[in-house]
Amino acid sequence: MNHKLPKKIFSILIGIILTFVFIYLGFKVLSGVMTRAEGMVPRDVVISDITQNSVKITWTTDVETQGVVEYGTSPTALNFFFPESKSEKNHLVELTLLSPGTTYYFGIKINDKKYDNGGVPWTFTTSSGQGESRSVVPTEVINTP
């Protein structure tokens, strides 16, 4: 009977150790996922080089991501989209073939999560002509995941 007691204690200790190892590993995995999600949030969104037919939109993320700019002429209908060609931390999208003198609205989509300017899409208006080119003051993302 003495031989069964040490085996039982040994089994219990192994079970406790394995439980702590799995809890630790699970915490590490979840914290990595949460940190990665926070690192995907677009920051320092800048609208620049607005012409009659084009605009440049830039932003940064803490981790490499591949975003999609969704845009349109109504804040409730962002029907057009322009995906980035590769993952990076410093993002640049140039929208072309836009209509002169038109107000556009846009948001940024990363991994099926949509980001905007604090609950409303960012906005810009293309120039109406006469060769003017404008930049808009940088706007930071207010909302977080």
- Comparing 132 with 100, which gets the higher pLDDT? 100
Q: Which residues contact 69 (CB under 8 A, 6 or more apart)?
A: 57, 81, 82, 93, 95, 106, 107, 108, 109
Band (pLDDT 50/70/90 cuts) for residue 5 is low
Tens of pLDDT, residue by residue over 6-40, are: 777 777 777 788 777 767 666 655 555 444 567 88
Tens of pLDDT, residue by residue over 37-69, are: 678 899 999 999 999 999 999 999 999 999 999
Alpha carbon 25 to chain centroid distance? 26
Residue 4: its pLDDT value, please? Answer: 67
Count of Cβ atoms closer than 10 Å to residue 49 Cβ: 15
Report yes or no on whether pTM surpasses 0.75.
no
